[in-house]
Amino acid sequence: MSSITADGHASHAHSSSEFGVGEFISTYVFSRDHKVIGIQFLFSTLLWFLVGGLLAIGIRWQLAWPWSDMPVIGPMLFSAEGGQISPEFYTMLFTMHATVMTFLVIIPILAGAFGNYLIPLMIGADDMAFPTLNMLSYWVMWPAFFFFGGSFFVAGNGASSGWTSYPPLSSVPESAPGSGLAQTMWLLGLTCVGISSMMGSVNYLTTIIQMRAPGMTMMRLPLTIWGMFITALLQAFALPVLTAAGFMQLLDRTVGTGFFIPEALSVNNSPMAPGGGQPLLWQHLFWFYSHPAVYIMILPAMGMVSDILCCFARKPLFGYKPMVYAMNGIAGLGFIVWGHHMFVSGMNPGLGMTFMVATMMIALPSAVKTFNWLGTIYGGKIQFTTPMLFSLAFVSMFVVGGLSGIFMAATPVDIFIHDTYYIVAHFHYVLFGGTAMAVFGAIYFWFPKMFGRTMNEFWGKVHFLLTFVFLNGTFFTMHILGAVGFPRRLADPYHYETFRHLQPINQFMTICAILMVASQIPFILNFFYSMFFGPKAGRNPWHANGLEWQAPSPPGHGNFDFQPIVYRGPYEYGSPETDQDYYPQTQPPTERGKADVPPTLAAD
Amino acid sequence: MSIPILGTLIIVWAAMDWYPLEGHWFPERVVEDGNIDHLFYFILWLTGIVFIATGILLFWFLWKYDAAKNDQPVVFTHGSHYLEVMWSVVPAIILLFLAIYQMDAWAGARMERPVLANGQPKPPIARVTGRQFEWKMQYPGEDQKFDTPDDLYVTNVLHVPRDEEVVLEIESEDVLHSFFLPNFRVKQDVVPGMKQFIWFKPIKDGSYDIVCAELCGWGHYKMKGQITVQSRNDFDVWLKKTYDEQELSEFSLAEAE
């Protein structure tokens, strides 16, 4: 770890003998090393993942056995109600489940954890462009953790106007129990997440554009990096809109402006001043960010999956350039489709048609990507390792999520399925079946690089199999609920005649959901056991091509112990130019092969 | 990876109404306009075929190119321009066709409000106002004008005549709600500060749920109403009877003011 020759970083190297408390804090707590920051993000987000999962169990419990005492957890949490979930508590549960999963798990685990860890390593840089800004981007998450976590303990026990926070419900404290201080804290938390992501995205963009190793042209970037790059672009352009909208809502709540509150509104028989605003404005602003956010939550995952699929199919990526164009296409179209969340919102129906056509078209790049993944595994030598299984699951689950999206894009069909469990099924397939599967795969894949040890394959496969089965048990059945019109966010759907016969299927889903959370136990144990006692991994345990695999495991401060020079793209597996079935990006061409671009010229 | 195939079977099973999943599909349709159902099935067939095809392809590749069995050298290819064009253009045509195909259904449901014989837009039969946590219905009475002394006020109960184009005016008093009639394939967010119209043509007698589909606070789940479809005669009788009852209890009815 201490023998770092990459210029400028030798002074940061330290030997373990003079390791004091101050040094511990500067190395592991207020570290400016992108790898430490990435791992900090990873641990924080995994912890919140657990919180979000437990909140989901609360939701599922209520839908399966409404108004019944929750065993064990119930009396501990809400003894006042005799261990039952109250409707106020239920609205809080799904609001906070979605908030935690979106803003504290998926976005930060992809951009924060993997983005930070992988970007400099995969492009051959010694660190991020702005290490201090990078450190701040993690530490600004802590106020967010505090605000979101703290909102559970103030009046109302957590924000409860849905993760979309639609006004007037969210702007008028009288309208809901969680619309008081809890909602204010929610908005402050959102702002902190926004600031953190903004810092991150500026840093990623600069790093990827400026700090690539010699020979690493844009068209030789691994798709993971392309995914992160486009994500950072989306965040840089869309996020300010949400942050501004959040501020406007905060002003509505605190100093009495009326951006989102219409004229002549009265809640609980008390007239609300002021007015003159428009609730639809919030929806436009919110979805202008939150629709691109869907791609922020999937593009890096797509990139990571592409890398893993190539590595274990031992084959080049099928159609690298179309994949890059498809990602860019998704990002571009992503900005003009937000209105499809508002087909039944009261927005002008003529506008609905425009959004419908745009939304239909965004399915296209996703289809191109899926076919390219199939093309990638065609004709390969597939190794069924744990990361590969998770990546294959990503592809098949993403197909389900993508195809069910077409139903929503069709405006007339959306009239019926909007706000039903069909939507819930769709985005859980994209975000859990898709992103979470990719994240698990990525953890198993890059774990040896992060900690220098390998995770146990057997328990990894157990984890995969259980998660995969119960994920489908939970989320596939949601399509059927959605087809009956079963609405989201109802504390007791059996209040309605139409949905009464759906209770058994809900119970089935709840059992699957509980088992799905339980399936994470082998993962958690495997993760921590392997971190300390797993078999030691060398630099390149998977025989992969990427630059990160040429660095030591784990890499020291400054990453590389040599200056990486890139001779080819990252997907040259099974190349006839070499005798081995992989061809690292830094390996000079053999006699049989020749460099397609002399590396000295390619250093742009 | 056989899950996709299993999933399709479950969907088909549910659609066929076989045991034990009977009733786990669209609720009975009681309006004339079947466009939404038709489109749903059309897309289901289309996506179902793609879904099964990609599932089988994936499964087949995994089985055939398993490193443990496959002793052939890998196919060293970086892609195929021809294939990329094919699988961009074909889905594009299908998606564009879908987009154009459904425009009429959308226009019918949202943009072409029924008109009277003289070409004027048909006036609403009732005004529905959402508030935490009930649906207030207001019938205009004999003068066909809202907010006049002969208006009829009821809560959570809506009656409409069969075989007629019914237009409703919907509003909100406080927060967002969503007026959802599963059996009528009707859903419209109710936005405070906005006046909106919805329409449908019921063809079957009976009583059905009115559901609130947009989160409106802690009591969201109990914001339930009932819509009753009956013949024009029964409807007029009901209107008359309910109005008379309201007259009798004028002073005790808070909503009527």
Q: For the residues A340-346, what does the mean pLDDT come to?
A: 91
- N-terminal to C-terminal alpha carbon distance within chain B: 63
Among A166, A266, A476, whose Cβ lies nearest the Cβ of B176? A166
- Chain A contact probe: residue of B42, B46, B103, B214 with most A CBs at under 10 A: B214
Contact A193, A290 (CB under 8 A): no
Shortest distance, CA A305 to any CA of chain B (angstroms): 15
- Tell me which residues of chain A, numbers 93 to 122, contact chain B at a CB-CB cutoff of 8 Å: none
Of B74, B180, B192, the CB nearest to A314: B74
Using an 8 Å CB-CB cutoff, list chain A residues near B97: none
- For residue B210, pLDDT beyond 50: yes
What value does the CA radius of gyration of chain A take, rounded to a whole number of Å? 25
Question: In this predicted model, what pLDDT tens digit does every residue of A95-104 receive, in sequence order?
Answer: 999 999 999 9
A279 touches B: beta carbon within 8 Å: yes
Looking at residue A15, what is its pLDDT? 45
CA of A280 vs chain B CAs: smallest distance (Å):
8
| pLDDT of B21 strictly over 70 | no
Q: What distance in Å separates the CA atoms of residue B88 and residue B94, rounded to the nearest whole number?
A: 10
Residue B8 has a pLDDT of 58
B218–A88 C-beta distance less than 8 A: yes
**Is the preceding peptide bond at A274 cis, omega within 30 degrees of 0?**
yes
More confident residue, A485 or B248: A485
Report chain B residues whose CB lies below 8 A from the CB of A350: 111
Which pLDDT score, from 0 to 100, does residue B249 have? Answer: 76
Phi, psi of B115, deg, nearest 5: -120, 160
Tell me the per-residue pLDDT of A428-484, one tens digit each, with 9 for 90 and over. Answer: 999 999 999 999 999 999 999 999 999 999 999 999 999 998 998 899 889 888 989
Confidence grade of residue A524 (pLDDT, cut at 50, 70, 90): very high
Nearest to A415 among B176, B187, B208 (CB): B187
pLDDT of amino acid A256: 81
**What span, in angstroms and rounded, lies between the C-alpha atoms of A312 and A381?**
7
| Residue A603: closest CA among A230, A220, A120, A202 | A220
Percent of chain A with pLDDT over 90: 66
Beta bridge partners of B159: B228
Task: Quote the minimal CA–CA distance from A228 to chain B in Å.
Answer: 22
Residue B161 region by backbone torsions, left for phi larger than 0, else alpha for psi between -120 and 50, else beta: beta
Q: Which chain A residues are Cβ-neighbours of B215 within 8 angstroms?
A: 91, 161-162, 166, 169, 488-489
| SS3 label, residue A554 | coil
Among A5, A94, A566, A572, smallest CA distance to A307 is for A572
| Chain A stretch 408-437, residues whose beta carbon is closer than 8 A to a beta carbon of chain B | 410-413, 415-416, 418-420
Interface of A with B in 173-202 (CB under 8 A): 175-177
Say whether pLDDT at A7 is over 60.
Answer: no
The answer on pLDDT for A364 being more than 70 is yes
Residue A596 has pLDDT above 60, yes or no: no
* pLDDT for res B6: 58
Q: Does the pLDDT of residue B98 top 80, yes or no?
A: yes
Name A285's Cβ contacts closer than 8 Å, sequence gap at least 6: A241, A242, A244, A245, A248
Contact A419 B214 (CB under 8 A): yes
From chain B, the residues in CB contact with A574 under 8 A are 73-74, 76
pLDDT above 70 for B256: no
Give the pLDDT confidence score for residue B144 in this predicted structure: 86
User: In the prediction, which pLDDT does B184 show?
Assistant: 94
Inspect the interface and report whether the beta carbons of A175 and B174 lie closer than 8 Å.
yes
Q: Which of A163, A171, A403 is the mutation pick for testing B, counting most B CBs within 10 A? A: A403
* SS3 state of residue B11: helix
Instruction: Report, as an integer, the average pLDDT of A361-366.
Output: 91
Query: Whole-number mean pLDDT of chain A?
Result: 88
Q: Is B212 left (phi over 0), alpha (psi -120 to 50) or beta?
A: beta
The partner residues of B228 in beta bridges, in order of sequence, read: B159, B207
Choose the weakest-confidence range: A210-214, B43-47, B161-165.
Answer: B43-47
Q: Environment class of residue B19 by beta-carbon count within 10 Å: exposed (0-12), middle (13-18) or buried (19+)? A: exposed
A404–chain B Cβ distance below 8 A for any pair: yes
- Helices and strands (H, E) in chain B, number of each type: 5, 10
B257, pLDDT greater than 50: no
Question: Mutating which of A88, A169, A311, A479 best tests the B interface, going by the most B Cβ atoms within 10 A?
Answer: A169
A351 in B contact zone (CB under 8 Å): no
- Domains, chain A, in order of start with CATH, read 35-263+273-588 (1.20.210.10)
Give the model confidence (pLDDT) of A391-405 as tens digits: 999 998 999 899 999
Predicted confidence (pLDDT) per residue in A11-42, tens digit: 444 444 456 777 778 777 888 899 999 999 99
Minimal Cβ distance to B78: which of A316, A413, A497: A316
Q: State whether A363 and B95 contact (CB < 8 Å).
A: yes
Does the pLDDT of residue B24 top 80, yes or no? no
- SS (HEC) of A359-394: HHHHHHHHHHHHHHHHHHHCCCCECCCHHHHHHHHH
Where in A540-596 does DSSP place strands (E)?
none
Report whether pLDDT(A604) > 50: no
pLDDT, tens only, A38-91: 999 999 999 999 999 999 998 999 999 988 877 766 666 655 556 788 888 899
